Amino acid sequence: MPIPNIQQEELIVIDDNHRLRAYDGQFELALDWYQDPDMIYMIDGRREPYSPEQVQKMYECLASLGEVYFIEVWEQECWLAIGDVTFWQDDLPIVIGNADYRRKGVGKKVLSALIQRARNLGYQKLTVQEIYDFNQPSCSLFESLGFYPTHARERGRSYTLDLTLPIAQIQPSQFYLSREKLDRISIDFDQQELEALPVKRMDGKVFFTDGHSRAFKAYQAGLSHIPIYYDRD
């Protein structure tokens, strides 16, 4: 089954030209993708193509763990499946199977949409089990969205993205807050309503890059954790 007690979305619209469509058992759409030895090497560390039975079994396994989606683009007046992604809290495997759409920003759009889904579901973090060290495009993609390496694996590293953090764990980059500015801030401090605040991670520490006043007011309101996102500027 997919994520327990969570209804999978049939469609996640990313923009006018990109969307995610829930996997419906049509594994045949993906057969050509899993014949590409270079792509298979990046995700499996081997180059042997998948048989139809292996592709079907792979999707059945993924669908038992999380939400499986086909990645689709609007092309020549119809939606074209170009890859797949599986979403759950403990892993986020993504494949752009159609080589014509690699290195064009599609992966970042897809992951950004699923990070927002994780926020909507109230997740505090997302984890990627392993990205091989030689898969630099994937490493760069996840790191550009704020994922950071956590544990060494046999051939690579696992990655984590913090969606919330304890306020006490985040260092300020601004040390003075005016009373006038604090008095102007009015926020509903339900943690589900507080917008994510921008941070950067440097030398193992996390720093606010903005939102100091909102963070302080949240602390005054008794929140121990706040939602964050990683500032890429």
* The two three-digit tokens of residue 116, written as one number: 């927002």
| CATH code (residue 139) | 3.40.630.30
- C-alpha to C-alpha distance for 141 and 51, rounded to whole angstroms: 28
The whole-number mean pLDDT for each consecutive block of 10 residues of the chain, a chain of 233 residues, reads 87 98 97 96 95 98 97 96 97 97 96 96 96 96 95 96 88 58 55 76 82 74 83 74
Instruction: Quote the CA–CA distance of 165 and 217 in Å, as a whole number.
Output: 16
Q: How far is CA 103 from the centre of its chain?
A: 17
Which structure tokens are listed for 195?
Answer: 């917008």
Q: Where are the beta strands (DSSP E) in 44-132?
A: 67-75, 78-87, 94-96, 125-132
Going by C-alpha positions, the residue among 61, 124, 58, 43 that lies closest to residue 89 is 124
pLDDT of res. 233: 66
The predicted pLDDT at position 73 comes to 98
Whether 37 and 136 map to the same domain: the answer is yes
In Å, what is the CA distance from 128 to each residue of 13, 52, 73, 100?
Answer: 23, 26, 25, 25
Together in a domain, 95 and 126 = yes
Cross-sheet strand order for the sheet of 170-171: 164-166, 225-230, 197-202, 205-208, 170-171
Q: Could you tell me if residue 5 is inside a domain?
A: no
* Number of domains present in the structure of the chain: 2
Are residues 148 and 219 both part of a single domain?
no
| DSSP string computed for 170-196 | EEPS-----HHHHHH------TTTSPP
Residue 225 lies in a domain: yes
Domain enclosing residue 172, as ranges: 165-230
- Of 131, 162, 193, the position where a domain reaches its end is 162
For residue 168, the model assigns a pLDDT of: 80
Give the dihedral sign, CA 91/72/116/138. Answer: positive
Predicted pLDDT of residue 217 = 74
Q: CA distances (Å), 8 to each of 124, 144, 179, 219, in order?
A: 19, 26, 45, 34
pLDDT at 89: 96
Per-residue confidence (pLDDT) for residue 137, from 0 to 100: 95
Residues 134 and 61 in one domain: yes
| Statement to judge: residues 62 and 169 lie in one domain | no
